[in-house]
Amino acid sequence: MTYKELIDIAADSQWMAYAPYSGFRVGAAIECSDGTVFTGCNIENAAYACTICAEQVAVSKAVSMGRRDFIRIAIISDGDDYCMPCGSCRQVLQEFAPEIELLCANKDGKYVCYGLKDLLPAPFKKNSGSCDW
């Protein structure tokens, strides 16, 4: 799949966003190693802390379908700026795909590309702590 195709799928998902509080709609599309794509959008809540980010919806859909072999994720929003993943989303991606590539797009579909290692260089992970996991 091309980068543009993955961003276009994320953009389609963006229109499903439920964002009455922020007005900021986000779409995500995460690609597995065989080209399977899972989509997500942000889902807000009157109790703001219950909001779920688009990336986490996409990851949850994929993992609940038995898929964790992520290679790339596209993220797009309404903004002029490139849509960067929040810290929590970086951590969620780290759990399953430390090598994942991120395509962070703006409303015009222009994008910048990062490795998760660039955006979360010293992650907390299994065995990071002193607990005997």
Q: Which of 6, 19, 92, 104 binds ligand THU (CB under 6 A)?
A: 19
Rounded (10°) CA dihedral 51, 108, 119, 25? 0
Q: Which of 55, 82, 103, 119 binds ligand THU (CB under 6 A)?
A: 55
Distance between CA atoms of 108 and 3, rounded to whole angstroms? 14
Distances (CA, A) of 72 to 32, 59, 75, 113: 7, 11, 10, 10
Distance between CA atoms of 112 and 114, rounded to whole angstroms? 7
Q: Write the interaction track for ligand THU spanning residues 20-39; mark x where CB under 6 A is met and - where it is not.
A: --x-x-x-------------
Residue 14 is a binding residue for ligand THU (CB under 6 A):
no
Q: How far is the CB of 50 from ligand THU (least distance, A)?
A: 11
Contacting positions for ligand THU (CB under 6 A):
19, 22, 24, 26, 42, 44, 51, 53-55, 85-86, 89
